[in-house]
Structure 1
Amino acid sequence: MSDTAPYASKPELSLGRLYGTGPSPTRSEYQRDRDRIIHSTAFRRLQHKTQVFLQHDGNHFRNRLTHTLEVSQMARSMARALRLDEDLAEAVALSHDLGHTPFGHAGERALHAVMEPYGGFDHNIQAMRVVTRLENRYAEHDGLNLTWETLEGILKHNGPLTNQDGTPYGKYALEGVPAGLDDIPAIADLRISSHASLEAQIAAIADDVAYNAHDIDDALRADLIVLEDLIDVPLAGPIVSEVLARYPEVAPNRQAHEVQRRLITSTIEDVIATTSANIGASGVTSAEDVRNAGQTLVTFSDRVAEAERGLKAFLFTEVYRHESVMVPVRRSEALVRDLFAHYMKTRDLPGRWGGYALSATDESHLARVVADFIAGMTDPYAIDEYARLFDARPDFR
């Protein structure tokens, strides 16, 4: 039996996999999931997918892979502090962005818009398609054949998709439940109206902690902001003031790193303390109790949550919508739209994807094949494919 808290996920109690496998003498079921994800093609592709700044803008900006590794490290640290299953937390963290398109959220917005007549596009559902259908490494089945708990974590790490009565929950109350939920093979019902495990909830909040701190770091590297711009910004401001006062003569890059590491440490410590209190107040004594708790238990404190919203608002205005970011965003959105329109018209997809397109039985089926293909592209591949099809190389500057 694992030496974890009673409410932690227990690999020996896993509901299992869709396709049976023999037991491993050296690894738990969640360790095997983690390893399958790391060795997947989709995971390697993250190295060449945009986080915020396009890859060719600079070698030191984060991409989807470096972001994912940072999220994984934070998730594992928090899981250890809370006596949860570190391997499950890591597996969910490592897979949480596998469904992202090239060019970051810009690519996702463009793909969702062109897919709207066919049910839309959701990167979380796409991650499920990747790990259950699109990875084709194994001789006996499609997908990675992950455990039920890892699949549940990927699907619901940000919370349930519906309420108990079937109405959309959270962000889906505005957007509607995404298409594709009825096409996710798993050994048991993924229960979209319940919360996920504490390990999956940790992966979700680690994502927030990582991109808040690291988007500040990348924005400073890109000269979109300077540290002094953050002095009055919630959450980051007090830390910036403290660092500038204590290290006034230190080089700006060292000051920035000091701010980043202190911001990460303080928010993670807040999550651990708040979550411990939430668990105690909820009375949960098993992983199943967590799923039925009716609330997210891994949270920031109210004070930090409010400050974090303020920091997000600052980053949205001053970084994500900065004109130097928006120019390549608009051009990458246009590139994705043009690729989609061409493939839908001609079914001219390379390799095995051309066979899938030619065998599509109707327009909706074809659209999903095209979306799968585009979503799997790296930034450089999408640019090369555009150049092949249109005899022109897009300029993102």
Structure 2
Amino acid sequence: MFEPLQHGAIAERERILRSAGVFDDAERALSPRVWDEPNAGKLSPFEQDRQRIVQARAFRRLAGKTQVFTSRESDHFRSRLTHTIEVVQIAREVARALGLNEELVEALALVHDIGHPPFGHAGERALDRCLREHGQRFDHNLHALRIVEHFEDWYAAHRGLNLTLGVREGIIKHSRDYAPSEYPELNSYYLGLRPPLEAQLIDLADEIAYLTADLDDGVESGLLDIEHICGHIGIMGQAYERVRRLHPNVDRKFLFHEALQWMQDALTADMIATMRERVADAGLTTLDQVRHFPERMAIFSPLMEARRLEEKSYLHDVLYTCPTLEAEHEKAENVVSMLFQFFLRQPERMPPSYVEESRTEGLPRVIADYIAGMTDSYILQQFWTASKLRRGL
């Protein structure tokens, strides 16, 4: 599928990518923390960040948060945590192939979903709708920054995890750009400029992971059919037929799983090749040049982008908006919305620390903070408790 580069061309392009990634002066530029800390020298700054992220309570709670299917339906479906681990694997593979900083990439992949509320995108939509009524918005990237800077409170000298500038910038900007005029409070994160390549690749690694996993979980759930998938998603049809020819007498579920891996490998290889080509063609050799380039470097080739869009459209039309999941989404949004209104009327039902926080942050924002931190099971407990209190039971 992909035309291999000659060894000399690969070496030259990896040299270019290495200089445009986070190394030497660029690494030092992205290593500062808000609070100075003595460095014992055992771990690099980004390895320290990785350690702090995996020890954070918000990271652990990802195990109890929905990816697509709620954990109560089956133990086999992905959670936010298992999805995150899959993103880490893909992101590190890309970083290694391109000669980028794997430690920064791993930290960014681990933290990229830490700001998601319970019930996946349905929960995020509901929180955003609730906050809009108070002139505010909910954005899971910005909430993730709020978590690592404010809510993870472990240290005597400061609040937050005190992560490096490179990781904090990547949390905000790995999947989109923010206009400086709309978010002046974030101007220290180089708004209006591109993030480092290490941050840029996270969004596509995330896409590759969920495009693969959601087909797998969809078939596991019984909502998707293997033949239907292969007949409507070109890259999967090609992959499945290739595997079937190699293993003609094997059960179709094993063929499907191997075809999924082939598809993931093809998407990853295309991403690597395309990034390598684009950086070389643009002549980018420094982080500053990456920042000031008008476009992001992390994209798929035109052919693979068309295949990605075909699969994404299929998942939206056949899986994400199917009656079964739509009913689940509606229930989830009702739970979030009702609980938000309940805490608006009775803020004293929140933990005392949140009530105290609301005096400076405002009650709507703090309620959103509290709900966003809940796992699926905990928010349902809170919902039933609130329902009983409303009925006077």
Give the TM-score, by structure 1 length: 0.89
Summarize deviations over 1:349-375 as a string: whole Å, max 9, x none: 332345326x526xx710000000000
> 5 Å matches for 1:78-93?
78-93=94-109
Shift of 1:325: 1.1
Counterpart selection for 1:154 from 171, 175, 180 = 171
Name the aligned partner's letter for residue 131 of structure 1: V
Name the aligned partner's letter for residue 42 of structure 2: T
Does residue 119 in structure 1 map to residue 132 in structure 2? Answer: no
In 2 relative to 1, CA 372–107 (structure 1 residues): closer, same or farther, beyond 3 Å?
same
In 2, Cα distance between the equivalents of 1:46 and 1:346?
Answer: 27
Query: In the alignment, is the contact (CA less than 8 A) between 2:278 and 2:297 conserved in 1?
Result: yes
Does residue 371 in structure 1 map to residue 388 in structure 2? Answer: no
Counterpart selection for 2:36 from 4, 10, 20 = 20
Summarize deviations over 1:112-164 as a string: whole Å, max 9, x none: 001113311111110110111111111111111111111111111123212xx
Moved more, 28-37 or 345-354: 345-354
In 1, Cα distance between the equivalents of 2:40 and 2:259?
Answer: 43
What is the percentage of aligned positions where both structures have the same residue? 34
RMSD of the alignment, in Å? Answer: 1.8
In 2, Cα distance between the equivalents of 1:200 and 1:93?
Answer: 9
In 2 relative to 1, CA 46–277 (structure 1 residues): closer, same or farther, beyond 3 Å?
same
What corresponds to 2:52 in structure 1? 36
Name the aligned partner's letter for residue 241 of structure 2: S
Shift of 1:335: 0.2
Secondary structure, counterpart of 1:5 in structure 2: helix
In 2, Cα distance between the equivalents of 1:224 and 1:283?
Answer: 47
What corresponds to 1:172 in structure 2? none
Summarize deviations over 1:270-292 as a string: whole Å, max 9, x none: 11111100010111111121111
Counterpart selection for 2:158 from 126, 138, 141 = 141
Q: What count of residue pairs does the alignment treat as equivalent?
A: 369
Shift of 1:92: 0.8
Summarize deviations over 1:270-324 as a string: whole Å, max 9, x none: 1111110001011111112111111111111111011101100000011101111
In 1, Cα distance between the equivalents of 2:145 and 2:385?
Answer: 30
Does residue 339 in structure 1 map to residue 336 in structure 2? Answer: no
In 2 relative to 1, CA 151–60 (structure 1 residues): closer, same or farther, beyond 3 Å?
same
Moved more, 238-247 or 35-44: 238-247
What corresponds to 2:189 in structure 1? 190
What corresponds to 1:221 in structure 2? 220
Secondary structure, counterpart of 1:24 in structure 2: coil
In 1, Cα distance between the equivalents of 2:89 and 2:104?
Answer: 12
> 5 Å matches for 1:159-308?
159-162=176-179, 177=182, 181-183=183-185, 189-231=188-230, 232-308=232-308
What corresponds to 1:128 in structure 2? 145
In 2, Cα distance between the equivalents of 1:246 and 1:316?
Answer: 31
What corresponds to 2:76 in structure 1? 60
In 2 relative to 1, CA 354–81 (structure 1 residues): closer, same or farther, beyond 3 Å?
closer
In 2, Cα distance between the equivalents of 1:325 and 1:154?
Answer: 29
> 5 Å matches for 1:382-393?
382-391=379-388
Shift of 1:15: 4.8
In 1, Cα distance between the equivalents of 2:303 and 2:222?
Answer: 30
Name the aligned partner's letter for residue 320 of structure 2: Y
In 1, Cα distance between the equivalents of 2:291 and 2:354?
Answer: 42
Note the residue ranges of structure 1 that are not aligned, 5 or more in a row. 168-176, 393-397
In 2, Cα distance between the equivalents of 1:84 and 1:304?
Answer: 23
What corresponds to 1:69 in structure 2? 85
Secondary structure, counterpart of 1:369 in structure 2: helix
Note the residue ranges of structure 2 that are not aligned, 5 or more in a row. 1-14
Query: In the alignment, is the contact (CA less than 8 A) between 1:230 and 1:240 conserved in 2?
Result: no
Does residue 104 in structure 1 map to residue 104 in structure 2? Answer: no
Moved more, 99-108 or 222-231: 222-231
Name the aligned partner's letter for residue 336 of structure 2: V
Query: In the alignment, is the contact (CA less than 8 A) between 1:157 and 1:204 conserved in 2?
Result: yes
Query: In the alignment, is the contact (CA less than 8 A) between 1:209 and 1:268 conserved in 2?
Result: yes
Secondary structure, counterpart of 2:234 in structure 1: coil
What corresponds to 1:5 in structure 2? 18
In 2, Cα distance between the equivalents of 1:349 and 1:306?
Answer: 50
Name the aligned partner's letter for residue 382 of structure 1: I
- Name the one with the larger helix percent: 2
Does residue 47 in structure 1 map to residue 67 in structure 2? Answer: no
Secondary structure, counterpart of 2:33 in structure 1: coil
Query: In the alignment, is the contact (CA less than 8 A) between 1:17 and 1:145 conserved in 2?
Result: yes
